[in-house]
Amino acid sequence: MAQNREATGDSATVGDQKPPGSDAAEPIAIAYGPEIMPGDFSISLAARGGTDAVLRGPGGERVQRMRGFEDQYVDIIDYIVRITHRIWEEKDIGYIYDTYSHKAHVYDDYGLQYGSEKIVADTVHTINAFPDIRLFADEIIWAGNDEIGFHTSHRTVIKGHNTGYSRYGPPTGRRVFLWCIANCVSLENHIFAEWVIYDTANMIRQLGFDLPTMARQLGNEMGGGAIEDEGFGEAERLRGQRKPAQMKAGAGGGFEVEEFIRRSWHNIWNRRSLQQVRQSYHPSLLARGATGRVFYGRGEYQAFALGILSMFPDAMLQIDDIYWMGNDDDGYLASVRWRLVGSHRGNGVYGAPTGRRVNMWGIAQQQIEGGLITKEWLLFNEFAVMQQIYRD
């Protein structure tokens, strides 16, 4: 059973769930199990005909129970696509007050942000820097319901031209194209928790800046503590000097999504058993990673994992959240939110070892067909990692 135990304040169950607007402590994640994972793709972006179809033909008959949500939204996919379009492309930034809790928790490259006012300010900043910004929904994975909250993993392509000032400097006029994944928890028309990964390093590179220089500059301005405190704490490590266990497939015979994902990630990243890549990924794998990386096939993906583990030899990865939709016949789409802590003690793309402790976190979306991962989108806070390493 999928369990996410992170919470702010007291943990909540269905029976004592407080409305997002109340003064009670709000959970940022809720325990849930396979019974609330969609068993098919009848409510999906593909079933709606894609983003353009949703925006061209809004409204209609509600196809999903959505207690407390505005009547105009027919299902959770409709809600996510249309509020994103209204806020970012129609520039109705004030709609954030209607769709985010005033005590919302938002995690991004720069740590933990509290409250809708900070979300409004950050949105104004980004749209000012990219006035012609466009967000194209590429996929939305969801689970949950209107009692415990809808969990959504929204993958988008972002395009725009930098014609306004930003935290990185004066406008460059350059065009950017990058991926973003935003995982939200929504209840009664409010988002009260969000984990959002922009491919920030790729954007800065496309703007024409030198990545190490910019990472050092902003890292020094923010200070080490602000960057290192990602609001997660330390990933669970082994007690004593026991060796990491090797997770083996269950003997039940059926395919279990959570067991498959946890086994694959643990054996690759904690056990360092890289042959698991060949057992879990399809030979014709297509994977997209941070800073514009693209991996074709299992060999390239394996090399990427080796590079990370070589730079952070004491790395330990922990999965914080998993949910999925689909079935054995049609395949599955899964969202995995994870974090990794380790010390920069090996050579690699970040330069000579510094010994600094690094907090890395990210979100992966995986397409699973026939018991193997055929496609993956793996984004992590790479620019924040570089800030932690390069700052003086």
Q: What is the pLDDT of residues 87-107, one digit of tens each?
A: 999 999 999 999 999 999 999
Amino acid 218: pLDDT: 92
Q: What is the pTM of this model?
A: 0.88
State how far the Cα of 340 lies from the Cα of 317, in Å rounded to an integer. 4
> What letter represents residue 96's amino acid?
I
The CA-CA-CA angle for residues 230, 81, 100, to 5°, reads 50
Q: At 371, phi and psi to the nearest 5?
A: 80, 10
| pLDDT per residue of the chain (392 residues) written in tens, 0 to 9 | 343 433 333 333 333 344 444 443 354 454 567 788 999 999 999 998 888 889 888 778 899 999 999 999 999 999 999 999 999 999 999 999 999 999 999 998 878 888 999 999 999 999 999 999 999 999 999 999 999 999 999 999 999 999 999 999 999 999 999 999 999 999 999 999 999 999 999 999 999 999 999 999 998 987 654 455 444 445 555 545 567 777 777 766 789 999 999 999 999 999 999 999 999 999 999 999 999 999 999 999 999 999 999 999 999 999 999 999 999 999 999 999 999 999 999 999 999 999 999 999 999 999 999 999 999 999 999 999 999 999 98
pLDDT for the residue numbered 33: 73
3 state SS of 115: coil
What pLDDT shows up at residue 109? 82
What is the model's pLDDT at position 325? 97
Domains of the chain (ranges plus CATH)?
14-209 (3.10.450.50), 257-390 (3.10.450.50)
Question: Which amino acid is residue 29, in one-letter code?
Answer: A
Predicted pLDDT of residue 236:
56
- In the sheet with 175-187, reading across from the earlier edge strand, the strands are 111-114, 100-108, 190-198, 175-187, 149-161, 134-145
Rounded CA-CA distance 263/255 in Å is 12
Print the SS3 string covering 4-19.
CCCCCCCCCCHHHCCC
The whole-number pLDDT of residue 317 equals 95
pLDDT in tens, 346-363: 999 999 999 999 999 999
Contacts of 356 (CB under 8 A, 6+ apart): 343, 344, 388, 389
**For residue 358, what pLDDT is reported?**
93
At 242 the pLDDT is: 61
| pLDDT of amino acid 155 | 97
